[in-house]
Every structure is written in structure tokens, then in C-alpha cells.
């Protein structure tokens, strides 16, 4: 069978050998065939997310070490686990590395990924562009579609307008960029906050209105703009202290659902009693129907048709695994409307 390799491939990874270690250490890594319902991907490009440098700096989740960080990969499938029938060896894909153990981390040449977190990547899209999407798509979907969150209708290629509006705080961020596009594909109107230099960027992705979060009266501006509209809630994709509270104050003053979903924790103070705030965990979508729908049914076709475009733009900071630490440092220093990418991993 062509599912199984005759020669065991050689793997290399950028390891975190112990908590809070700097820099990451590039060294050999084990490889074993993917388990049931998983695939092995030969990684070409990886992208860096804020959680990656946070994990390195803080050991946030008390992981077992040595370990391999990273969520976003683009590359070629080299081996299929039992039960994988809708993908094939040699296929070009993007994937959200989610799962337990070092073999599931992105920052290595050969990564193991569940099939429901993999999407075919059209050859018209470079791997260095496609790789900006995975964690952003999953995080956006977790807040937009799960029951108990904003619970929007699933996105489609030709959505019916719903006459509903969502507020996305931080529209030019990686998660915000994905949330705008997914919400539009669900038939929902989108208003966002961003820096003025990124207004056109957000509108190109589908946002109807943009507001400068620096303005002292930004809450009043947004509330006025939402007069007469039915709001499905707010998605806090990024933002400094006080941003979640600002979202909560806005939905409390508008017609519709008084719900805020956030990539941060739920604040202890400043939330109106009528507003419900829920923290997002991206991996939760793979425990329900949201993940399989978004990744296996919607995303592959949406990338082909341009309903979803890779955004934000990749900021390539280096090549090969030795550049991953540079990528972590660059992301930590801050980027705007860009996603840090390392190319030439394999």
C-alpha cells in the first residue's frame, strides 16, 4: 500500500528542552507513522502566533518537556493513518497542529496532524501565504460558530444576507482577519476596530465600517453606527486592557445578543450584568461539528474560489528551523497586519 513508507524519514525539530529556555535548540526528532485518523506532513513553511512566544516565556500550561511549539504548517502529506480516505499522499495542505505530545508541534520537519484539522491548499496559493491561516481560522471559528458563543450560521460559498451585524475588535489581527472573512461568508455584516492605516485592509476583507480604537469616544461612535441594527455580539480578537470591557459596554447598549467572545480571559470587573463574556479555546472546535465542517467541508473550496484569502500578509523573517527563534522574537516585538513566517523548513 502507498500509505506506508518503506524508508523511515529523518526528522529534525526546534526543541524547547526545558521551561522558559532560550533559544530553541535545533536537533534530531523521532518520527513514527501517524495514528488513526491522522496524517504526517512534510513541513515547508510555518507561521508564528503570540501563544508561541508566550509558551516559551512563561510555561503557561505546564507542558511536559522536551516539547515542540507551533500551530501553523503548510506542506505535503507524506503518510496517512488508518481511516484517512479523503486525503492522499503528495497532497499540498495547510494544517492546524493540535494534539498532545511533541510529534504534534509545528516547528519540525515532519508533523502529525488530525485529518479534521487539514485543508487542501490550491497550487495558486504559495505555501508561505497559506500558512498564515490555520490557528487564526480555528480561533475565529471557535468564537463565531460554537453553541454558547456567537453561534452564527455556518459559512457557505454563497451566503444569504442575514440582516445581522457583528463587532470584531482588532480586525487587522490574524484572528480578526479570519473572523471578518468567516462572518461575511455567514451572511453577517461586520464592523471592526483597527488603526486607521489598516482601515482599507479590513474593508478589502469585507468589513462594512471601521473605527479607530484609539479614539476616546470609540464606544459612542460604534453604538451610534449600530442604531437600528440587530447585533449578534462582539468578537474580541486582540486588544489592550479594557478592550473586552469596551465590547461589553457596546453590546449592552445595542439591540441584539449581549454576548462577547474573547481570545483573552474573562475580566473580573467592568462587565455589565446583562452581558455574557466567554473565553475562546481554538482546539475546542475539534471536539464538536465546527472543526470538521470548517476545515474539511468549507475551507478547501473557499480557498479555491477566493471566498477566503490568506490574510494577513506573511512577513518572512528567515529560512529553516534555525530561524524559528528569530520568528518568536519578531512576533513578540509586535507586528501589524502581518503574520511572521519561516520558510524552507524541509
On whether residue 24 sits in a domain, the answer given is yes
pLDDT in tens, the chain (346 residues): 445 444 678 999 999 999 999 999 999 999 999 999 999 999 999 999 999 999 999 987 888 999 999 999 999 999 999 999 999 999 999 999 997 788 999 999 999 999 999 999 999 999 999 999 999 999 999 999 999 999 999 999 999 999 999 999 999 999 999 999 999 999 999 999 999 999 999 999 999 999 999 999 999 999 999 999 999 999 999 977 899 999 999 999 999 999 999 999 899 999 999 999 999 999 999 999 999 999 999 999 999 999 999 999 999 999 999 999 999 999 999 998 899 999 999 9
Q: Are residues 102 and 160 in the same domain?
A: no
Q: Are residues 127 and 141 in the same domain?
A: no
On whether residue 305 sits in a domain, the answer given is no
What is the pLDDT at residue 199? 98
What is the pLDDT at residue 2? 47
- CATH (domain of 207): 3.40.50.720
Distances, alpha carbon 189 to alpha carbons 42, 162, 180, 287, in Å: 38, 8, 9, 28
Q: Is 14 within 8 Å of 108 (Cβ atoms)?
A: yes
What is the pLDDT at residue 63? 86
Q: Are residues 68 and 16 in the same domain?
A: yes
Q: Are residues 92 and 44 in the same domain?
A: yes
Q: Are residues 93 and 146 in the same domain?
A: no
Q: Is 37 within 8 Å of 115 (Cβ atoms)?
A: yes
Q: Are residues 200 and 125 in the same domain?
A: no
What is the pLDDT at residue 1? 43
Contacts of 209 (CB under 8 A, 6+ apart): 191, 192, 225
What is the pLDDT at residue 8? 74
User: In three state form, how does the secondary structure of 247-292 look?
Assistant: HHHHHHCCEECCEEEECCCCCCCCCCCCCEEEECCHHHHHHCCHHH
Q: Are residues 124 and 24 in the same domain?
A: yes
- CATH (domain of 36): 3.90.180.10
In b/e form, how buried is each residue of 10-45, taking b as 16+ CB within 10 angstroms?
ebbbbbbeeeeeeebebeebebeebeeebbbbbbbb
Torsion of CA 300, 86, 45, 156, to 10 degrees: 20
Residue 229: domain span: 137-281
Q: Are residues 36 and 167 in the same domain?
A: no
On whether residue 253 sits in a domain, the answer given is yes
Q: Parallel, antiparallel, or unpaired for β 338-343 and 313-319?
A: parallel
Q: Are residues 26 and 120 in the same domain?
A: yes
Domain count, the chain: 2
Q: Are residues 154 and 274 in the same domain?
A: yes
On whether residue 176 sits in a domain, the answer given is yes
On whether residue 339 sits in a domain, the answer given is yes
Q: Are residues 158 and 192 in the same domain?
A: yes
| Interatomic CA distance for residues 167 and 190, integer angstroms | 6
What is the pLDDT at residue 7? 64
Domain boundary among 281, 296, 329: 281
- Sign of CA pseudo-dihedral 195, 197, 198, 199: positive
On whether residue 99 sits in a domain, the answer given is yes
On whether residue 149 sits in a domain, the answer given is yes
Q: Are residues 114 and 150 in the same domain?
A: no
pTM of structure: 0.96
On whether residue 223 sits in a domain, the answer given is yes
Amino acid at each position: 500500500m502507498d500509505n506506508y513508507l518503506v524508508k523511515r524519514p529523518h526528522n529534525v525539530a526546534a526543541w524547547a528542552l526545558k521551561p522558559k529556555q532560550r533559544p530553541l535548540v535545533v536537533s534530531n526528532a523521532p518520527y513514527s507513522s501517524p495514528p488513526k485518523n491522522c496524517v504526517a506532513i512534510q513541513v515547508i513553511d510555518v507561521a508564528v502566533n503570540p501563544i508561541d512566544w508566550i509558551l516559551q516565556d512563561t510555561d503557561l500550561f505546564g507542558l511536559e518537556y522536551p516539547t515542540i511549539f507551533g500551530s501553523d504548517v503548510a506542506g505535503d502529506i507524506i503518510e496517512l493513518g488508518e481511516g484517512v480516505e479523503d486525503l492522499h499522499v503528495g497532497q499540498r495542505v495547510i494544517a492546524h497542529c493540535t494534539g498532545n505530545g511533541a510529534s504534534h508541534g509545528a516547528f519540525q520537519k515532519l508533523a502529525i496532524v488530525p485529518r479534521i484539522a487539514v485543508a487542501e491548499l490550491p497550487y495558486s496559493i504559495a505555501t508561505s501565504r497559506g500558512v498564515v491561516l490555520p490557528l487564526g481560522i480555528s480561533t475565529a471559528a471557535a468564537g463565531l460558530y460554537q453553541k454558547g458563543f456567537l453561534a452564527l450560521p455556518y459559512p457557505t460559498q454563497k451566503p444569504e444576507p442575514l440582516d445581522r451585524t457583528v463587532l470584531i475588535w482588532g480586525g487587522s489581527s490574524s484572528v480578526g482577519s479570519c473572523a471578518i472573512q468567516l462572518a461575511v461568508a455567514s451572511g453577517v455584516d461586520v464592523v471592526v476596530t483597527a488603526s486607521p492605516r489598516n482601515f482599507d485592509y479590513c474593508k478589502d476583507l469585507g468589513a462594512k465600517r471601521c473605527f479607530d480604537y484609539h479614539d476616546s469616544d470609540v464606544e459612542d461612535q460604534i453604538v451610534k453606527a449600530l442604531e437600528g441594527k440587530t447585533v449578534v455580539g462582539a468578537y474580541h480578537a486582540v486588544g489592550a486592557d479594557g478592550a473586552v470591557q469596551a465590547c461589553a459596554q457596546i453590546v449592552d447598549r445595542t439591540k441584539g445578543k449581549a454576548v462577547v467572545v474573547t481570545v483573552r480571559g474573562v475580566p473580573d470587573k467592568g462587565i455589565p450584568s446583562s452581558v455574557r463574556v466567554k473565553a475562546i479555546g481554538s482546539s475546542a472546535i475539534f471536539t464538536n461539528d465546527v472543526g470538521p465542517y470548517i476545515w474539511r467541508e468549507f475551507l478547501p473550496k473557499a480557498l479555491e474560489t477566493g471566498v477566503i484569502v490568506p490574510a494577513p500578509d506573511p512577513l518572512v523573517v528567515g529560512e529553516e528551523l534555525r530561524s524559528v527563534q528569530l520568528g518568536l522574537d519578531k512576533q513578540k516585538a509586535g507586528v501589524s497586519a502581518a503574520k511572521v513566517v519561516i520558510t524552507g523548513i524541509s
